Amino acid sequence: MTVPTALPIVQAPMAGGPSTPELAAAVAGAGAFGFVAGGYLTPDVLRDELDRTRALTSDPIGVNLFVPGSRAPDPAAIGAYAARLRPLAEELGAELGEPRWEDDGFDAKIDVLVSAGIHTASFTFGCPAPEIIARLRAAGVRVVVTVTDVGEAEIAAGAGADGFVVQGAEAGGHQGTFDPARRNETPLAAALDSIASVGLPMIATGGITTAGDARAALDAGAVAVQIGTALLCTPEARTSVPYRRALLDRTYEDTVITRAFTGRWARGLANPFAVEHSDAPGGYPEVHHLTRPLRAAATAAGNPDVPNLWAGTGWTAITAEPAADVVRRIGADL
């Protein structure tokens, strides 16, 4: 499997806000591969997002979905976490959310993808069942699975995947580990080296924000690179104002891997909430639903100390230029 674009660059699907049809179209127009982020969307909204993207570009596009996981292993721990967060909720004038499990409309979204005429479906948080992959491939859809180690890659290959998104520990946002309790500490270069033995094409992601980063990943065996953090402050992204300011103003000194926001390990800027609650219990999406009203209230108030501000380790290279310019800069000489 190769990326069907002039440049070996893929736009990361950044669910929950930053990804937009305009971003996917701008990336595609610059010669790279655009993605629609299907996570958190209802099946009907996903179809609308695809229609809007198709109205903006006729280039090949992809869609990313979250593979449903198991219910939280320790509901009592989530209850105790809620009690810790209650004073903050009162301070923000918000109610804590219900820590509920759901499958994010997974099966209905698969139905959408089968009939949508997309080029690629990518998956994170696990590997879809072989029959789902076979159904998508029968509809002409290529399937790639986010993996972080060779064991996950072997599972995905055995299920019929066409390739991998190999995610290093440098990546911003959620870690794609199949086991949500396992924190990924493997750098991208090491992950590419070990997963190459499985023998399927690899798209590299994690900390790639410059042309040098992209060249290093391709030289390490990737067929393409996936960029997300580099696109967060483009005008086409739906990144919130406090999120943009925190990135561009260097409000926080570093990034941190934390479970504070969603109950799944994820990398973001080291704001007070991420740091103070890094020991939050596991349980996705229960913790995500619990903290979501707090994050929304803080964002609405322009307060960057509470929301998740996903960012990879290369975040200090972020600029506020248009998406096409970012793609061309990273794709220089590839």
What DSSP letter does each residue of 95-107 carry, written as one string?
Answer: PPPP-----TTHH
Domain that holds residue 262: 70-102+253-308
Q: Distance (Å, rounded) from C-alpha 143 to C-alpha 13?
A: 15
In Å, what is the CA distance from 231 to each residue of 34, 214, 323?
Answer: 12, 14, 6
Stretches where the chain sits below pLDDT 70 are 1
293 and 185 inside one domain: no
* DSSP assignment string, 193-218: HHHGGG-S-EEEESS--SHHHHHHHH
First to last CA, the chain: 18
208 and 297 inside one domain: no
The CATH number of whichever domain residue 214 belongs to comes to: 3.20.20.70
**Residue percentage of the chain with pLDDT more than 90:** 97
Q: Does some domain include residue 56?
A: yes
296 and 187 inside one domain: no
Number of domains in the chain: 2
* DSSP strand pairing (202-205 vs 224-227): parallel
Q: Distance (Å, rounded) from C-alpha 259 to C-alpha 177?
A: 13
Question: How high is the pLDDT of residue 137?
Answer: 98
| 85 CB-near residues (< 8 Å, 6+ apart) | 96, 277, 290, 291, 294
Q: Do 299 and 242 meet the contact criterion of CB atoms below 8 Å apart?
A: yes
125 and 109 inside one domain: yes
CA 316 to chain centre: 19
Q: Does some domain include residue 211?
A: yes
Q: What pLDDT, in 10s, does the model give residues 201-238?
A: 999 999 999 999 999 999 999 999 999 999 999 999 99
Instruction: Read off the pTM.
Output: 0.96
- 3-state percent helix, strand, coil for the chain, nearest multiple of 5: 40, 15, 45
CB 287: neighbour CB atoms within 10 A? 26
Please write down the HEC assignment for all residues of 309-329. CECCCCHHHCCCCCHHHHHHH
80 and 126 inside one domain: no
1 and 129 inside one domain: yes
From the list 11, 5, 109, the residue with the least C-alpha distance to 58 is 5
Question: How high is the pLDDT of residue 1?
Answer: 62
Q: How many CA atoms lie within 13 A of 291 on its CB side?
A: 25
CA 219 to chain centre: 24
Question: How high is the pLDDT of residue 5?
Answer: 85
3-state secondary structure (DSSP) of residue 117: coil
